Chain A
Amino acid sequence: MSVLFDHGGEILDGFYATLLLTVCAFPLALVLGSAMAICRISPVRPLRILGRLYVDVVRNSPLLLVVVLIIFGLPDAGLLIPLFWCLVLGLGIYFGAYVCETVRSGIRAVDRGQVEAARAIGLPFRRVVTDVLLPQAFRAMVQPLGTILINTALGSALGAAVGVAELTLETRSFNLETAEPILAFAVAACGYLAINLVVSLAVRLIERKARVLR
């Protein structure tokens, strides 16, 4: 057990880095994904094509490829940003595509009668969207968005493949230094389980709040 106290600090640092990566990348994915969803829904043809292209390209390529292309491609294109932010950017771009599809299907899940009714009583477009469409769409999006948040945390483990010292990479070195694989991986597993648990609980809470009684 004493090895854990000797090296525990590094694992904690790794856990902190994983959290930080997730907290930075998820909002990016949310913003990018929502913007792209608006593009895909809008009647403006070039924007629709852009959204479609983005989703098709990103969802069909591996996350590691996106990350690696950013890390090695950006410097070659004359843009230098720190490794950590490369990973954040990669995660944001990748999971943005999933956010985009979630937002779109959340909006699709709203019964069309709701919108028709709102327009029939003379609500202007803006209020149809903000007062009728989005609150109901949000309810359908909470669960999948929570899944995407968890996936972002899991995806940040790819930092270990490119040299960002997060939980998985720290676990690897902890394992190699101490030769205590069971302990090392059990501690890391607890970290990821904790993230999973917290997000799941939060999703359940938000879902209960967002529920509309019929």
Chain B
Amino acid sequence: MNEDILFDALGPRAKARLRTVSILCGLVLTAIVVALLVQLGLAGQLDLDRWAMLADGPILGFLLQGLWMTLVVGLVSTALSVVLGVFLALGRLSRTRWLGIPSATVIEFFRAMPLLLILFFFMFGLPLLGVRIPLFWQLVLAIVAHAGAIFAEIVRAGILAIGRGQSEAGKAIGLRHWEVMAFVVLPQAARALTPALVSQMVRVIKESSLGYVVGLAELLNNGKVLSEFSGNFIQAYVGVGVIYIVVNILLSRLAERLAERKGTVKPQLQERS
């Protein structure tokens, strides 16, 4: 449903009223922004030399190094979590119970855990049990466990959205269950899931910001270092935020582009942050 049918097409008087309201709202919003800026200015946060550090070559380079690490973590974790997600989803959908129940348990368990708790288990729990993993993999494995379980549910929804007729037809020509999955259902689901793949990457990039906790030199962590080094907290974190937003919006655009080109409707999936 579109919002436009809620009321009639506006007549000249209503249009004039709408224009007045728009201008008023615009003025109020501008006033709020100005008030915020004045408050920031009074606190000395708008001084040019505080912001100038973001245009400084070496400092910008330091942040971009962080971005590079974020992207590496993002790519590796996305790849691994997608593989894990597909296998977990197939396991949950399999007809043998000894595969179905464990897969469902793993999915539901990791979906219910906060990422930070999983990360703490890798950071502080496992060393006590005598298992040490490098910093990078602590973060990546925690993200993969969490994001993989979420992606498994997305894949499952994608597979279930493929019409029953497809798998029935596959069975009718004598394919086995795994053959039906591998040659008939999964290729179609994969096509519908391409946009979901990109939003998975956005989710993983956002989660990789927990490098802040582990001390892995990714974007947010480098922002923290920069803010503590320079004492300009607002400026450092706003700079980092702009980088995150630009990267993620570019990725989302890519997802929309992919969805359009495939000519498929974006599957209605629940957004898990």
Q: Which residues of A contact B (CB under 8 A)?
A: 41, 43-47, 50, 56-57, 60-65, 68-69, 72-73, 76-78, 94-95, 98, 101, 107-112, 114-116, 119, 125, 128-129, 133, 143-144, 147, 150-151, 153-158, 160-161, 167-168, 171-172, 175-176, 179, 181-182, 184-185, 188-189, 192-193, 195-196
CB distance from A115 to the nearest CB of B (A): 6
Q: A50-B29, A78-B43, A193-B112 are in contact. Are A181 and B212 (CB under 8 A)?
A: no
Closest A residue to B213 by beta carbon equals: A161
- CB contacts (< 8 Å) of B121 on chain A: these are 181, 185
Whole-angstrom CA separation of A176 from B234 in the bound complex: 33
Assuming A69-B241, A175-B120, what are 15 further A-B pairs, CB within 8 angstroms? A44-B25, A46-B22, A46-B25, A47-B29, A63-B206, A101-B271, A107-B3, A129-B6, A154-B112, A161-B116, A172-B124, A181-B124, A181-B126, A182-B129, A192-B114
B120 touches A168 (CB 8 A): yes
A64 touches B209 (CB 8 A): yes
B240 touches A110 (CB 8 A): no
Whole-angstrom CA separation of A182 from B270 in the bound complex: 32
- CB contacts (< 8 Å) of B7 on chain A: these are 125
CB distance from A180 to the nearest CB of B (A): 8
Q: Could you jot down 21 A-B contacts, CB within 8 Å?
A: A47-B25, A61-B248, A62-B205, A63-B206, A64-B220, A65-B240, A72-B234, A72-B237, A98-B271, A112-B2, A129-B6, A154-B112, A157-B114, A158-B114, A160-B116, A160-B213, A168-B114, A168-B117, A182-B129, A185-B120, A193-B112
Q: Which residues of B contact A (CB under 8 A)?
A: 1-3, 5-7, 10, 18, 21-22, 25-26, 29, 39-40, 42-43, 45, 109, 111-117, 120-121, 124-126, 128-129, 202, 205-210, 212-213, 220, 223-224, 227, 233-234, 237-238, 240-241, 244-245, 248-249, 252, 270-273
Whole-angstrom CA separation of A199 from B40 in the bound complex: 40
Closest A residue to B129 by beta carbon equals: A181
Q: A60-B252, A72-B234, A77-B39 are in contact. Are A115 and B113 (CB under 8 A)?
A: no
A72 touches B249 (CB 8 A): no
Question: Which 4 pairs show the lowest CB-CB distances between chains A and B?
Answer: A157-B114, A181-B125, A62-B209, A60-B248
Query: Do most interface residues of chain A lie in helix, strand or loop, or is the interface mixed?
Result: helix
Whole-angstrom CA separation of A124 from B241 in the bound complex: 44
- CB contacts (< 8 Å) of A181 on chain B: these are 121, 124-126, 128-129
